[in-house]
A = this chain, B = another copy of it.
């Protein structure tokens, strides 16, 4: 129900092929919304039928034509309509928390290894986000209109990763204390 809107947001920033979009959902946008290329192609076709995007074919030698999708006025209107709706609660699904909760019935050494691996991932992601922040938004008090959204999302990523990292560190301290 909302991949459409994630795609509209992305296309509003810059027109793209399905392939481009799929890569974005592996990178920047993928930090807070995941989608595979199969999903993207299917949803794009639906969005085109609804008139939220139109498509320009760009012929290429040796490869399928690029189908460059551009957001339409109807697409922008749909984005505004959607944004006025209440935002549902985030759907949480944390296997990590399930495993922690099941501690007495779980392979403890394996769990420790998982926590360490996860700690390292959070640390690496956090570092990457902070570098990105320093490079892209050196002065957060002087953001133009177009930069504000991406800045706020990146801040959210940093706060989320920092919290995840701290959770892992505290967990390790408690588990190793035995």
A139 on the B face (CB < 8 A): no
Per-position 1/0 for A58-91, Cβ under 8 A of B:
0000000000000000001001100110111011
Expressed in whole angstroms, the Cα–Cα distance for A37 and B159 within the complex equals 33
Q: Which residues of chain A in 67-123 are interfacial with respect to chain B, using CB atoms and an 8 Å cutoff?
A: 76, 79-80, 83-84, 86-88, 90-107, 110-111, 114, 117-118
A51 on the B face (CB < 8 A): no
What B residues does A15 contact at CB under 8 A?
none
Asked if A98 and B146 sit within 8 Å, CB to CB, the answer is no
Write the nearest CB–CB distance from A29 to chain B, whole angstroms: 7
Give this chain's copy count. 2
Q: A101-B150, A159-B166 are in contact. Are A107 and B84 (CB under 8 A)?
A: yes
Q: Is the interface of A mostly helix, strand, loop or mixed?
A: helix
A152 on the B face (CB < 8 A): yes
What B residues does A45 contact at CB under 8 A?
none
Q: A101-B153, A103-B148 are in contact. Are A32 and B94 (CB under 8 A)?
A: yes
Task: Select A146's contact among B84, B104, B155, beta carbons within 8 Å.
Answer: B104
What B residues does A92 contact at CB under 8 A?
31-34
